A and B are shown apart, each in its own frame.
Chain A
Amino acid sequence: MTDISLYQRIPVDVPESTPARPRLLLIATSLVAAATVVGYVGLTAWYAHVRQGVLGTDQPWLPSGVTIPLTQPNFMLLTMVFSAVAMAWALSAVRHDDRPNAFIAFALTLMFGFAQIAQTAYLLTLMNLPAAGNPAAALIYTMVGVQLATTAMAMGYVVAMALRTLGGGYSARDYEGVLSATVFWFTNVGVYIILWYAVYITK
């Protein structure tokens, strides 16, 4: 049975609670993430469109002598999956006020991001795809370039949120910024998966 006396102990001059703070950063990040996916899917559609046109004329899609090895793209996929786990770890740590784990996870996420960029550069070196003279090169370089730009943006976002967490801006009470960075990082991983399948696997 409810003890009514408990309610009577609440002082009468307690101010009204303020409305919950709107999660504007999370909403905006989600919208930007949606826009990023739409843009990349549009680019992939162009890739499919041009590729189908070239293959329809019985011409090879990639110039002779150019191959796309599978080892590096697959390792990059693993790297991105690990980075997603690390980002989720960072979010979980911030939600539990576990700051040491949060900073380890932030650092790991960024390290995986750098690793993906470095592996992409190495892959492009291995591919040795001439920049001119074939229709595939423009599309492949654009798709890879846009994905790298997305990774760079996601890393910048993570750095900003890590610094804010370091400054005490985010904690178990309010972790909206870290959640937003996680949403964008996951989007970046999704973009890489599109690239991996459309370009590196399908070729």
Chain B
Amino acid sequence: MLRGFRSFHPLVLLLYYIAVIAGLMLNQHPIFLTAAFLSIIFVNLILDKGIELNKWKYMIIFLDLFVFVFTPVFNQQGNIVLFELFSRAFYLEAVIQGAMIALTLSGILALFTTFNIVMTPDKFLYLFSKFFPKWALILMLALRFMPLFRKRLADIQDVQEMKGVSMKDGKLRDKAQNGMLFLQILLTYSLEEAMQTADSMSARGYGLQKRSQYKAYRWKSRDWSMLILLFFLSLSTLIGWQSNKTILTLTPELESILLQGYSWFYLLGWFLLISLPIWTEGKEVIKWNFYQREI
């Protein structure tokens, strides 16, 4: 059984991700973005000890460096010149801008690693089938075909290798041509087979009446409370953005980076919004420790 953050209804989870991604793009302020990035990393750690994030770390670092280095080169708006290189001025504002973009990008990428942990394909398809039932059915079929075709491709490769057709040696041209030949065999083979699948679908009554659905995820009362919490937290973020409290003004004049007054309130709301998984998962961790102590 699923517990913690993963056990919420897929729709609630999807809304959480939409809210956080929108927030990451709207709250263009170094402190807000840093808080977001750190809490997303913490979410990663609490969900799967950072295994998934580890796979993506090089891409995140590379993109960050790329953006951070090149933004000041091209962004020529600002008042405070840091230094000059090859008769191009480097502005402090542009450097801050670069850092903010890098933080936004890495925040979004790190968030997507948690998305891949939380929104498993079955939840994803469940949401799809709500909105586009026919397309979701095609996706389900295709998703089942993927491992099957992989196996078939391996078989085809083995058989063809006995005939001397392989992708292991030869020129690039020959390799590519042979690879495509394998795919062509896979195509005719699988299409013939698939017609059987289709006929058995028809034989079981597909298309005769409206399709009924198995409800894998039921809406529980805690989904309501989570939804209401999500609504108010994203509303506070939206209001903060609308009143310019969560944005660092770069031009015409650089604002002080330090937060003042109401900005702290919005920062709290933003932090609470991102760290919803931390509270729900953290509750489970505390429970676990508590029960262990009881024993």
Q: Does chain A bind chain B?
A: no
